[in-house]
C-alpha cells in the first residue's frame, strides 16, 4: 500500500501540520496524564480506522511503559478491568466525541459529568483539544491512505 501523496514531505502540508502539531503540544504539555492521552489517541484512531495513528500511538505508549495487556484491550475497554475509572471516563468522552455524527447532541451530559469527577477544567480542555487533534490527524491519514506498520517511537521528535 502506498500513500496517495507524500503528505509529510509536501511544503503546503508541512505548514498545515505545523499548526496541528502546535495545538497537539498544548494537550501534550498539560496535566492530563500521559497514559490517558495515549489511550485517547489509540481509541479514536481505532474508531476512525486510522492504521497509521493506531500504529504510532500504540508504539509510543509501549515505549513509555504501557503494558501489552492494556494496549490490547483498548478497543474493548468497557469489558476490561485494567483501566482506571478516570481512564474509562476519558475513553467514553473520546468515543462519543469521535462518533459525534452518530448521536444528536454529541457527548452526553452523563459522560461529561462523569469526566468532571476525575479531571479539572484545564485537563478537560486538554482532553477536548486532544480528541479534536487526533480526529484531524486520523482524517488526514485515512483520506491519504497513509500506510501503517513502519512507525518507530520518537520518529517525529
For 19-62, write each residue's pLDDT tens digit. Answer: 999 999 999 999 999 999 999 999 999 999 999 999 999 999 99
Whether residue 93 contacts residue 115, with contact meaning beta carbons closer than 8 Å, is answered with: yes
Whether residue 97 contacts residue 131, with contact meaning beta carbons closer than 8 Å, is answered with: yes
pLDDT surpassing 90 at residue 102:
no
User: The whole model's pTM is what?
Assistant: 0.95
Grid coordinates representing 120 are: 479539572
pLDDT of 155 reads 86
Q: How far apart are CA 31 and CA 37, in angstroms?
A: 10
**For 103, left (φ over 0), alpha (ψ -120 to 50), or beta?**
beta
Domains of the chain: 32-144 (1.20.1290.10)
User: Would the CA dihedral through 77, 81, 84, 89 be positive or negative?
Assistant: positive
Amino acid at each position: 500500500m502506498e500513500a496517495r501523496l507524500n503528505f509529510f514531505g509536501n511544503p503546503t502540508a508541512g505548514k498545515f501540520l505545523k499548526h496541528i502539531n502546535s495545538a497537539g503540544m498544548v494537550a501534550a504539555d498539560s496535566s492530563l496524564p500521559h497514559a490517558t492521552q495515549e489511550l485517547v489517541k489509540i481509541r479514536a484512531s481505532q474508531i476512525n480506522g486510522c492504521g497509521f495513528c493506531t500504529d504510532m500511538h500504540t508504539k509510543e505508549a509501549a515505549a513509555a511503559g504501557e503494558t501489552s495487556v492494556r494496549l490490547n484491550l483498548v478497543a474493548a475497554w468497557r469489558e476490561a478491568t485494567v483501566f482506571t475509572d478516570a481512564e474509562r471516563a476519558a475513553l467514553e468522552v473520546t468515543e462519543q466525541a469521535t462518533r459525534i455524527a452518530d448521536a444528536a447532541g454529541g457527548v452526553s451530559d452523563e459522560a461529561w459529568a462523569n469526566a468532571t469527577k476525575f479531571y479539572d477544567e484545564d485537563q478537560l480542555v486538554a482532553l477536548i483539544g486532544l480528541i479534536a487533534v487526533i480526529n484531524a490527524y486520523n482524517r488526514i491519514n485515512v483520506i491519504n491512505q497513509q500506510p501503517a506498520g513502519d512507525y518507530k517511537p520518537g520518529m517525529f521528535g
